[in-house]
């Protein structure tokens, strides 16, 4: 009787990987405040001062989460969000918009661009940390699901090959 050769599951080396949070704000004080708040979470922050710089970081570093100011020179947070969410390579990255805008139209525009959540300025530390932790957990679970589905697809492929 022939033994079935199964794919060995690779260790989940993502468990101990420190989350990377891209913090984008054109105001240096706001940027430093957000980074200081995030020191209470086990994550590494990468600061960016405008939209083009943020897109470069996204391209090179593939952060786990983006905290994104809306009103910035050069490129608005709306445009950064739209570009990140429209790129298949980065569309899975959660985005929390950090905004002083309270108009319904602005929030609707952010949702239409693909934002995952909002935090209003002035930022409440407890609210920010809770939302960031939740988004990072969701990102981790989604990544784990994707790896599991890829593993199952490989197992099915090998089973099909062996049955032929």
What was the pLDDT predicted at 102?
73
pTM of the model: 0.84
By C-alpha distance, which of 146, 119, 156 is closest to 34?
119
9 within some domain: no
25 within some domain: yes
Mean pLDDT (whole number) for 60-68: 97
Structural domain total, the chain: 1
| Confidence check: pLDDT of 71 > 70 | yes
Q: Is residue 160 classed as helix, strand or coil in its secondary structure?
A: helix
> For the purposes of burial, counting CB atoms within 10 Å of the CB of 117, is it exposed (0-12), middle (13-18) or buried (19 or more)?
middle
**Tens digit of pLDDT for each residue in 94-143?**
999 998 877 777 888 899 999 999 998 899 999 999 999 999 999 999 99
Q: How confident is the model at residue 16 (pLDDT cuts 50, 70, 90)?
A: low
What was the pLDDT predicted at 5?
41
13 within some domain: no
| Confidence check: pLDDT of 155 > 50 | yes
Q: How confident is the model at residue 161 (pLDDT cuts 50, 70, 90)?
A: confident
14 within some domain: no
> Which residues form the domain of 26?
19-163
11 within some domain: no
Mean pLDDT (whole number) for 71-92: 95
| Confidence check: pLDDT of 8 > 60 | no
23 within some domain: yes
5 within some domain: no
Q: What is the CATH number of the domain that holds 108?
A: 3.40.50.2300
8 within some domain: no
Torsion of the alpha carbons at 134, 140, 145 and 150, rounded to the nearest 10 = 160
């Amino acid at each position: 009787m022939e033994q079935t050769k199964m794919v060995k599951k690779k260790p989940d080396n993502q468990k101990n990987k420190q989350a990377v949070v891209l913090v984008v704000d054109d105001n240096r004080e706001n940027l430093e405040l957000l980074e200081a708040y995030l020191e209470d979470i086990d994550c590494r922050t990468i600061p960016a001062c405008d939209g083009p710089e943020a897109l470069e970081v996204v391209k090179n570093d593939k952060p786990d989460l983006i905290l994104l100011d809306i009103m910035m020179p050069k490129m608005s947070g709306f445009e950064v969000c739209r570009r990140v969410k429209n790129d298949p390579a980065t569309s899975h990255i959660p985005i929390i918009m950090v905004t002083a805008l309270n108009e319904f139209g602005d929030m609707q525009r952010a949702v239409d661009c693909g934002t995952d959540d909002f935090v209003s300025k002035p930022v409440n530390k407890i609210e920010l940390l809770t939302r960031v932790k939740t988004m990072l957990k969701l990102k981790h679970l989604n990544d784990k699901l994707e790896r599991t589905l890829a593993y199952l697809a490989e197992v099915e492929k090998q089973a099909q090959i062996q049955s032929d």
